[in-house]
């Protein structure tokens, strides 16, 4: 795929995320992409594998499910309006059609009696289970008051801003896409004199694989490099913003990552006095998990004071 096309579509994706709460026209998104409206929807479909309207609808319901699970203080109506739905009734209908579950069932999966199949399965092959949003509810040890005691290791760190170079994984969270992207980025940094063992590496995780089909999840690999380093297309200059970050050390098999991330959002954040400030969840790597099967990293969330 032409790299200029990919870069322009990526710009549209960022714009959509920033404006999910309001109506978005094809013409408006085409203007952001710098393609004509006539061609834009075909180009978007070619790059993303789904139409613009399907993508926007999917991102709205996915974002809403995450808010339902991890922002319990928000009412269902608040969640609906913040994600671009005109009413709580329309919101409930959209979630039930897409995921197979109503908003109240997603918030209280223990009250679900019958498993349902929504459009997410027929369209993307994704089996959605509300219980996957709450892994600690599935513990079998009745005597364990805290099935994820590692959350006690969370600390808040103040980070300085850092200049980074990043690259989008074309293929979402699939291992081939993630590892292939990292191989290119590691080689880029080595070519500019930063040995692999000295590289500061971050994964930017935009989506929740418990909600979003794996190949549709957005993942960007990033490595800290001086601003003087000139990068080619497909590699993008960015800045890791300064500020407070929640940091959870993690040394486990890769398939345990999602449960730790969800626990950080749903169990540590509500009593922390902070909330996420909109920057994607970060994984700060300390090893190459392909070599040992164990991932050593910090799971990090940029914070702001809860208002």
Per-residue pLDDT at 265 exceeds 50: yes
**Which of the residue ranges 43-47, 158-162, 218-222, 229-233 would you say has the lowest mean pLDDT?**
229-233
Per-residue pLDDT at 306 exceeds 90: no
User: SS3 for 214?
Assistant: helix
User: SS3 for 74?
Assistant: coil
**Which of the residue ranges 60-74, 241-255, 263-277 would you say has the lowest mean pLDDT?**
263-277
**Which residues neighbour 37 within 8 Å (Cβ) at sequence distance 6 or greater?**
26, 27, 30
pLDDT on residue 142: 42
Sign of CA dihedral 65, 70, 74, 78: negative
Mean of pLDDT values over 256-281: 89
Q: Which domains does the chain have, with CATH numbers?
A: 3-132 (1.10.10.60), 155-305 (3.20.80.10)
- Residue among 2, 14, 12 at smallest CA distance from 220: 14
Gyration radius of the chain's alpha carbons: 20
Please write the tens of the pLDDT for every residue from 190-240. Answer: 999 999 999 999 999 999 999 999 989 999 999 999 988 888 777 888 999
Distance CA 133, CA 130 (A): 6
Q: Report the Cα–Cα distance between both ends of the chain, in Å, rounded.
A: 44
pLDDT on residue 23: 92
| Highest mean pLDDT (candidates 119-128, 130-139, 216-225) | 216-225
- Burial (CB count <10 Å: 0-12, 13-18, 19+), residue 48: middle
User: 124 and 207 in contact (C-beta within 8 Å)?
Assistant: no
Per-residue pLDDT at 133 exceeds 60: yes
pLDDT on residue 150: 65
**In angstroms, what CA-CA distances link 136 with 25, 207, 217, 239?**
41, 20, 23, 34
Mean of pLDDT values over 19-40: 92
Distance CA 301, CA 55 (A): 25
Residue 1 neighbours by CB distance under 10 Å:
11
Per-residue pLDDT at 92 exceeds 80: yes
- Name the average pLDDT for the chain: 89
Alpha carbon 56 to chain centroid distance? 15
pLDDT on residue 143: 43
pLDDT on residue 40: 92
- pTM for the complete prediction? 0.85
- Residue among 64, 62, 35 at smallest CA distance from 47: 35
């Amino acid at each position: 795929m032409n790299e200029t096309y990919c870069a322009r579509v990526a710009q549209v994706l960022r714009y959509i995320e920033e404006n999910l709460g309001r109506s978005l026209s094809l013409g408006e998104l085409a203007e952001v992409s710098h393609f004509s409206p006539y061609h834009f929807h075909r180009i978007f479909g070619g790059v993303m594998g789904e139409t613009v309207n399907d993508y926007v609808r999917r991102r709205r319901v996915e974002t809403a499910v995450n808010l339902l699970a991890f922002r319990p203080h928000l009412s269902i109506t608040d969640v609906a309006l913040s994600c671009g739905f005109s009413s709580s009734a329309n919101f409930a209908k959209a979630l039930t059609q897409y995921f197979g579950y109503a908003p109240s069932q997603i918030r209280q999966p223990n009250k679900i009696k019958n498993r349902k199949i929504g459009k997410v399965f027929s369209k993307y092959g994704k089996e959605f289970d509300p219980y996957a949003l709450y892994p600690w509810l599935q513990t079998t040890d009745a005597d364990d008051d805290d099935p994820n005691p590692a959350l006690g290791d969370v600390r808040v760190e103040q980070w300085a801003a850092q200049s980074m170079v990043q690259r989008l994984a074309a293929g979402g969270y699939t291992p081939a896409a993630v590892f292939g992207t990292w191989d290119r980025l590691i080689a880029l940094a080595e070519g500019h004199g930063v040995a692999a063992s000295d590289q500061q590496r971050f994964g930017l995780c935009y989506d929740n694989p418990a909600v979003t089909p794996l190949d549709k999840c957005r993942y960007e690999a990033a490595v800290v490099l001086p601003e003087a380093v000139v990068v080619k297309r497909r590699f993008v200059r960015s800045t890791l913003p300064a500020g407070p970050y929640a940091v959870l050390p993690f040394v486990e098999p890769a398939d345990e990552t999602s449960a730790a991330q969800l626990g950080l959002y749903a169990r540590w954040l509500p009593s922390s006095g902070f909330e996420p400030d909109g920057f994607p969840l970060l994984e700060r790597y300390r090893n190459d998990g392909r070599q040992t099967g164990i991932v050593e990293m910090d799971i990090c969330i940029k914070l702001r004071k809860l208002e």
